[in-house]
Amino acid sequence: MTEIRQVATEDEKLREEITERIESYARDKGYVFSRAKDKLIRELVRMHQRFGDFYCPCQPENIEETICVCDEVKTGYVDEIGRCH
């Protein structure tokens, strides 16, 4: 039972970390999340659990440039297209 609680605590820590990261970035840029925010957070946590970092689940490669907030977003994708993946 302790192991299950430990995994749940680790998952919650990851969720809090990525939520803080993306909310801070969105706030600084003036972005607003869509209704898919919770799904995005779940996927980012899943990517961290699987690959060791918050890689964008929409990108084909798990490389430094695709760690959330990925370079594509940082270089204006959201501004140009009007939304993140």
Which domain, by its residues, includes 55? 2-81
Question: Which residues lie below 8 Å from residue 45, measured CB to CB, with a gap of 6+?
Answer: 11, 14, 15, 18, 54
Count how many domains the chain has.
1
Tens-digit pLDDT profile for residues 46-78: 999 999 999 998 889 999 999 998 998 899 988
Residues 6+ apart with CB under 8 A from 43: 57
Beta bridge partners of 67: 55
Single pTM value for the model:
0.79
The CA distances from residue 79 to 36, 74, 84, in Å, are 18, 9, 9
Q: What is the pLDDT of residue 61?
A: 93
Say what the pLDDT of residue 78 is: 85
